[in-house]
C-alpha cells in the first residue's frame, strides 16, 4: 500500500487493520505511538514525507504535543504529500476524555483548526472518510477550485450529489455556451440542459465517454463526478472500461475524476476497472461530492499558505520603536503591574504603526474640561486606571459629551462610582478623546490571547460592546503576512460588509491587511503580552483607527524562559546586518528572506548566467524551472525553524528599486544537529567579497541555531566556491563515483 497511518490509539489501530483487510486498503507504514514520550509528530511526518513508498499520510490524533515541531514538519511535507488528520476532542467532554487518556493538554479546538489551516493539513470529521480522502488525494490531481461537473444517467442521484456538494461549500460548474453547444450536438434532445448533466437512462458507454471528454475541456469545471445507476440499457462494465481509457489518455488536465457506480453485484466489475485506472469509486453519489469538497478545501489551504503576499512593511522600519515598546512594557512590570492603561496601550500600538485616536490624560475635572476644549466638542471621556480593564462595566465610558458641564459631571460621577465599587486608588483620572462618527464605518475587534499548546493566537471579527453576543470572529496564528490576514478576514460575516454593501463604500482592505500584519508583529515581538484587544477598531473607507485598546501582561515574577513562544517561528530580525562592499564603500543589507521577496527572486534568477546556474545546481536548470511559483515558494515561505535563507539586498540608485544580489541558504536536517548549505551570487557581484561575507554570516547563524556540522557538495571545477570554503576552514574531499566534492566543517 501507499498510505502511512499513525495513531495515538492502539485499539483503533487493531480495528483499522481488521477493516483494511476487508476493504483491500494497503499501508506503507502502520504506526501506533500512544503518549509520545520519546517520539513526536514532527519526527514521524518528516520520516513518511521522505519515504518514496508513502503517497499520503493519515493521522488519528488526540493531542498535539510539541506544536512548533508538528507545524514545521506538516507545513513542509503537506506541499508534496497530503496529510489528513482526524482529531478527537471537538466537544469539551471529548477533549477532557482525550486529555485524561494521553495525560496532556488537548488545547482549544478552534485554535487547532486555525493551526491545521496554517500548515496545509486537511482535518476531517469521520473515520469512514479518512481513507476515501487519502486514496483520492494520492491517486487524483487536486482540483484548482470548487466547481464540479456531474454526469449521471438518472435525475435523483444527481440531486443528492448536488445537495451534498452545495451544503459543503462547493459549487456546480456553470455550462458555458460553447460547451452547451457541444453537448446539444452529442446528447438526445431530452437531456437536462443543465448541470447535473443527465445523459438519460439509455446512455451507452460511448455517450458517457464523449460527455466526459467535452467536460474535461471546460475551463469552468474544476472536477468531474460520473454517476451510473444500473438500468435496462446500461452496461456498467463497458462504461467503466471506456471511461478508464479516456481518463488515462487525459491525465494532464489537472482535474480529478470521481465515480459513483451505484448498486451491488451488477456494478462490481466496473468498479474494479475504475479503481485499477486510478479513478476512486463510491457507493453513494453524496459521499463522492463530500470527498470533492475536502479536495478543494485542501487546495485552498495550500494556496493560502503559498500565495505571494504584498510587502506590508519593512520590518526594520519599526526597529527603534520595538525597543521603545519593550521599555514601556518593562516600566509597567517594574511597577508590579499586569495591566497597561488605555493611554499606554494606545502608545504601544502607535509604535507599530497602528493609528490611534488622539487621547489626553486628565487627573482632575478642570484638566478634563481643558483637554475637551483643546480637542473640540463633542468628546468621549473614559476611565484612566491601571487596575480596571473593562471600563464599560463600571460606567467608565461616556460618549458624545457636548459641553464643559457634561465633561465635569462625567469626571466626578466616574470618580464616585469607582471609589464606591473598588477604591479611590483605582481611579487615576480620565482620558479625553474626540467623539468620532461611528456611522461612517464598522466596529471591528483585533486581539490576541494565549493558547495552552499554540502560544499567542490572533482574533479578528465584529467588534463593539456586542462582540460576545455576535460571536463573529476568526482565529489565526502569528506571524501574519497580508495574504494570511485576508484569509482570516474572509472567514467572518463582517468581511462581506467591509467590501461595500447597499451603496456604502468599501473599507481599504489592503491597508487593513497591513495593519493586521503589523499587529501580529507586535504580538510576536513583545512576549510579555498575555492579552491584547483593539476594540473597537473603526474601519471606514477613509481611515482605520483604534478607538480603544486593552493590554494585559504576564505576572512580573514569571521567569522569561517560561513565557509562551509562538507556535510558528517569527521572522528572525536578529539576523539582519549591514555589510560594506570593500572596494566601493556601498552598504548592503544581509537579511533573512521573506515571502514577499518572491518577485525579487524571479528578477534575481533572470540575471544569472548559465555557468553560475550550473555551478550552484550541479546541472543546467532552465529559468522556467527556477522561477516556478511552487519552487520559489519553498524558499521564500520557508519555516525559519527548519531553513534560513539570507539575501544580500540593495536599492538600485538609478531606479530606486530593491534588488537581491545573492542568497545563502542553511537547511537543517531533522532529528540531528547537522545542516546543509547553498550559495548563489549574481554574476556582476562575484569577486566583490560578498560570497565570503555571506557564508561567514551563515556560519555564525548556524552556530546560534545549534548546528554542529555543516556540509555541501560542489562541482570539481567550482573554483570560486572552493576558495570561499578554504578561507572559512572547510575540509574538502572528492567523491569520485558522483564526480563531486564534499565540503564540510564542524562548528
pLDDT for residue 333: 95
> Is the confidence at residue 382, as pLDDT, over 80?
yes
Cα 14 off chain centre by: 34
> Is the confidence at residue 127, as pLDDT, over 90?
no
Output the nine-digit C-alpha cell for 535.
476594540
Closest listed residue to residue 223, CA positions, set 139, 145, 336, 119:
145
CATH number of this structure's domain 3-138:
3.40.50.261
586-603: per-residue pLDDT in tens? Answer: 999 999 999 889 999 999
Q: Which of 7-16, 89-98, 301-310, 728-737 has the weakest average pLDDT?
A: 89-98
Band of residue 186 on the pLDDT scale cut at 50, 70, 90: very high
Domain 573-746 fold is Aminopeptidase (3.40.630)
**Would you list the DSSP string of 218-260?**
-TT-SEEEEEE---TT--HHHHHHHHHHHHHHTGGG---EEEE
Share of the chain above pLDDT 70, in %: 95
> Is the confidence at residue 102, as pLDDT, over 50?
no
Band of residue 104 on the pLDDT scale cut at 50, 70, 90: very low
pLDDT for residue 318: 59
Cα gap 694→422, rounded to integer Å: 59
CATH number of this structure's domain 143-305:
3.40.50.261
Omega into 517 within 30° of 0, i.e. cis? no
The domain limits of the chain are 3-138, 143-305, 573-746
Say whether 509 sits in a helix, a strand or coil: helix
> For cell 512594557, what's the residue?
329
Band of residue 23 on the pLDDT scale cut at 50, 70, 90: low
Tell me whether strands 549-553 and 339-340 are parallel, antiparallel or unpaired.
Answer: antiparallel
Q: 258 and 291 in contact (C-beta within 8 Å)?
A: yes
> Is the confidence at residue 168, as pLDDT, over 70?
yes
Same fold, 3-138 and 143-305: yes
**Would you list the DSSP string of 679-728?**
EEE-GGGTTSSHHHHHHHHHHHHHHHTT--EEEEEE-TT-HHHHHHHHHT
Band of residue 316 on the pLDDT scale cut at 50, 70, 90: low
Query: What predicted TM-score, i.e. pTM, was given to this entire model?
Result: 0.83
Cα gap 104→66, rounded to integer Å: 11
Band of residue 95 on the pLDDT scale cut at 50, 70, 90: low
Backbone angles phi, psi at 370, to 5 degrees: -60, -45
Q: Considering the chain, what is the average pLDDT of its residues?
A: 90
Exposed/middle/buried for residue 440 (C-beta within 10 Å: 0-12, 13-18, 19+):
middle
Band of residue 98 on the pLDDT scale cut at 50, 70, 90: very low
pLDDT for residue 63: 82
pLDDT for residue 403: 95
Amino acid at each position: 500500500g501507499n498510505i502511512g497511518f499513525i495513531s495515538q490509539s492502539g485499539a483503533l489501530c487493531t480495528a483499522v487493520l481488521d477493516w483494511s483487510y476487508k476493504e483491500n486498503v494497503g499501508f506503507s507504514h502502520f504506526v501506533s505511538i500512544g503518549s509520545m514520550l520519546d517520539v513526536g509528530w514532527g519526527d514521524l511526518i518528516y520520516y513518511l514525507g521522505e519515504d518514496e513508498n508513502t503517497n499520503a499520510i493519515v493521522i488519528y490524533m488526540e493531542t498535539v504535543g510539541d506544536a512548533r515541531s508538528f507545524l514545521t514538519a506538516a507545513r513542509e511535507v503537506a506541499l508534496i504529500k497530503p496529510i489528513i488528520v482526524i482529531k478527537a476532542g471537538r466537544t469539551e467532554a471529548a477533549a477532557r476524555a482525550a486529555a485524561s487518556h494521553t495525560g496532556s493538554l488537548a488545547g482549544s479546538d478552534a485554535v487547532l483548526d486555525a493551526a491545521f489551516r496554517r500548515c496545509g493539513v486537511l482535518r476531517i470529521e469521520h473515520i469512514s472518510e479518512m481513507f476515501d480522502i487519502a486514496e483520492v488525494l494520492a491517486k487524483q490531481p487536486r482540483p484548482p477550485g470548487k466547481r464540479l461537473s456531474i454526469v449521471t444517467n438518472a435525475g435523483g442521484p444527481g440531486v443528492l450529489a448536488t445537495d451534498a456538494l452545495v451544503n459543503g461549500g462547493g459549487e456546480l460548474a456553470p455550462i458555458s455556451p460553447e460547451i452547451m453547444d457541444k453537448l446539444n450536438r452529442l446528447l438526445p434532445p431530452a437531456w437536462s440542459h443543465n448541470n447535473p448533466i443527465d445523459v438519460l437512462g439509455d446512455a451507452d458507454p460511448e455517450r458517457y465517454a464523449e460527455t466526459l471528454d467535452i467536460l474535461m475541456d471546460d475551463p469552468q469545471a474544476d472536477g468531474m463526478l460520473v454517476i451510473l445507476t444500473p438500468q435496462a440499457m446500461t452496461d456498467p462494465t463497458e462504461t467503466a472500461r471506456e471511461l478508464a481509457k479516456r481518463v488515462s489518455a487525459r491525465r494532464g488536465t489537472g482535474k480529478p475524476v470521481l465515480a459513483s457506480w451505484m448498486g451491488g453485484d451488477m456494478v462490481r466489475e466496473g468498479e474494479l476497472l475504475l479503481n485499477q485506472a486510478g479513478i476512486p469509486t463510491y457507493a453513494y453519489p453524496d459521499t463522492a461530492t463530500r470527498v470533492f469538497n475536502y479536495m478543494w478545501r485542501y487546495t485552498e489551504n495550500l494556496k493560502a499558505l503559498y500565495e505571494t503576499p504584498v510587502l506590508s512593511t519593512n520590518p526594520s522600519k519599526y526597529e527603534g520603536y520595538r525597543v521603545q515598546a519593550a521599555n514601556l512594557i518593562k516600566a509597567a512590570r517594574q511597577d508590579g503591574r499586569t495591566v497597561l492603561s488605555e493611554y499606554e496601550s494606545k502608545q504601544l500600538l502607535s509604535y507599530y504603526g497602528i493609528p490611534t485616536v488622539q487621547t489626553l490624560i486628565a487627573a482632575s475635572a478642570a484638566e478634563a474640561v481643558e483637554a475637551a476644549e483643546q480637542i473640540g466638542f463633542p468628546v468621549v471621556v473614559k476611565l484612566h486606571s491601571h487596575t480596571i480593564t473593562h471600563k464599560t462595566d463600571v460606567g467608565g465610558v461616556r460618549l458624545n459629551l457636548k459641553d464643559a458641564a457634561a465633561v465635569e459631571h462625567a469626571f466626578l460621577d466616574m470618580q464616585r462610582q469607582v471609589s464606591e465599587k473598588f477604591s479611590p486608588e483605582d481611579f487615576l483620572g480620565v482620558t479625553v478623546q474626540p467623539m468620532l462618527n461611528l456611522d461612517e464605518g464598522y466596529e471591528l475587534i483585533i486581539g490576541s490571547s494565549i493558547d495552552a499548546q499554540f502560544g499567542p493566537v490572533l482574533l479578528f471579527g465584529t467588534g463593539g460592546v456586542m462582540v460576545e453576543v455576535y460571536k463573529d470572529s476568526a482565529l489565526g496564528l502569528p506571524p501574519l503576512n497580508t495574504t494570511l490576514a485576508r484569509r482570516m478576514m474572509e472567514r467572518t460575516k463582517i468581511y462581506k460588509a467591509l467590501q461595500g454593501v447597499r451603496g456604502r463604500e468599501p473599507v481599504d482592505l489592503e491597508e487593513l491587511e497591513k495593519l493586521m500584519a503589523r499587529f501580529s508583529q507586535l504580538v510576536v515581538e513583545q512576549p510579555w503580552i498575555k492579552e491584547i484587544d483593539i476594540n473597537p477598531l473603526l474601519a471606514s473607507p477613509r481611515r482605520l483607527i483604534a478607538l480603544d485598546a486593552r493590554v494585559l501582561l504576564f505576572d512580573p515574577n514569571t521567569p522569561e524562559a517560561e513565557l509562551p513562544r509562538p507556535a510558528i517561528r517569527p521572522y528572525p530580525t536578529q539576523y539582519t546586518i549591514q555589510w560594506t562592499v570593500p572596494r566601493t564603500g556601498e552598504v548592503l543589507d544581509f537579511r533573512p528572506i521573506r515571502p514577499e521577496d518572491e518577485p525579487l527572486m524571479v528578477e534575481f534568477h533572470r540575471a544569472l548566467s548559465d555557468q553560475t546556474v550550473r555551478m550552484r545546481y550541479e546541472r543546467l536548470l532552465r529559468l522556467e524551472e527556477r522561477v516556478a511559483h511552487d519552487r520559489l515558494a519553498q524558499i521564500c515561505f520557508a519555516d525559519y525553524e527548519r531553513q534560513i535563507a539570507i539575501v544580500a539586498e540593495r536599492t538600485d540608485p538609478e531606479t530606486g528599486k530593491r534588488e537581491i544580489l545573492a542568497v545563502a541558504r542553511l537547511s537543517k536536517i531533522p532529528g540531528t544537529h547537522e545542516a546543509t548549505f547553498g550559495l548563489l551570487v549574481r554574476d556582476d557581484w562575484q569577486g566583490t567579497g560578498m560570497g565570503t561575507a555571506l557564508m561567514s554570516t551563515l556560519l555564525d547563524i548556524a552556530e546560534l541555531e545549534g548546528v554542529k556540522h555543516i556540509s555541501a557538495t560542489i562541482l570539481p571545477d567550482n573554483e570560486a566556491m572552493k576558495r570561499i570554503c578554504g578561507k572559512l576552514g572547510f575540509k574538502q574531499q572528492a567523491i569520485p563515483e558522483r564526480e563531486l566534492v564534499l565540503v564540510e566543517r564542524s562548528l
